[in-house]
Amino acid sequence: MSKSPENVKASMPDPAVAEDEDDAWDKRIRKTGCFAENEQLLVCHADTNDWRQCARELAAFKKCMELNKQNGL
C-alpha cells in the first residue's frame, strides 16, 4: 500500500508540540538540577562558535554537576 501525501502528512509529528516536549538529553539534564547552567553553556557556544570562549559557563556547569552528582544522569 503506497502512502498518499495526505497520509504522510498526517503521520508526521506536529512541530509545535514536538518543540515543547523535552528530548531524552533535556530530561537527563533537568534531573541533575543543572539545566540553566547547561543552557547558558549551549547559548555561549551557539553565539561564539568557540568552546574556548565559554570557559566561565563551562566552569559553572561543571561545578553544578559536581555539586549535584547524586542526582546523576
Average pLDDT, the chain: 81
pLDDT of residue 17: 46
Please, are residues 41 and 58 in contact by the beta-carbon 8 Å criterion? yes
Mean pLDDT along residues 26-39 = 93
Please, are residues 72 and 32 in contact by the beta-carbon 8 Å criterion? yes
Buried/exposed 52-72: b ≥16 CB within 10 Å, e otherwise: eebeebbebbeebbeeeeeee
pLDDT of residue 19: 59
Quote the pTM value.
0.65
Confidence of residue 18 (pLDDT cuts 50, 70, 90): low
